[in-house]
A = this chain, B = another copy of it.
Amino acid sequence: MKYDLNQKITRGAQRTLSAFTQSMFTLLAKESFEKIKVNELCELSNFPRATFYNYFQDKYDLLNYCWHVLADQIDVAELTSLNHEEIPIQFFDRAYDLLSENKVIFDQIMAHNDVDGTLINSFSSYMKTVTRDYLTQYFKQTASNLPIELLVNHFSNTILMLIEWIFLTNHPVTKEQGHQYLRALLGNL
């Protein structure tokens, strides 16, 4: 990301960011990520190439920003209950809601992009970071004979594996059923 998101974002900048993000999602619903050219993104957004490169290193960079925009819906209500055991379940629920709300888009995307392609990798990778960050803050004080990092990785891997199995490889499962699976897989910890 060339543009600094921490500064106060001007109106024009916001417009530009939104336009490119929107264009990316639109194009992803129509063709595979590999096939998308920076020129396409620019034409659809009505911005010249130079503007694109003012904000992003490349299309991968934009894609990452797209996940950021999407996942921002998650950490709005950051501070719910604190029943320790339930943290993974809670996070699962949030991810479940996020993917449910955007199911249409994701289904379209999956129709043009392989499960093991660049795009899904990029999404997984972003979600992994978010999930780990979230879990880490709750597992800091947990006593265990396992390194915390391992524990956090394991929990986030499991949650996201389940989420991706449900939504990206289209195995319709209710939230409650998901809870059961999750408890079965993580039951001992």
Contacts and interface: CB of A to CB of B under 8 A. Distances in A.
Interface in A162-189: 162, 165, 171, 181, 184-185, 187-189
Interface residues of A, number: 23
Contact of A121 (B125, B147, B165, B181): B125
Nearest to A147: B171
A157 interface: yes
Stoichiometry, as copies per complex, reads 2
Interface stretch (A39-47, A92-100, A133-141, A148-156): A148-156
Interface of A: 116, 121, 125, 129, 145-147, 149-150, 153-154, 157-158, 161-162, 165, 171, 181, 184-185, 187-189
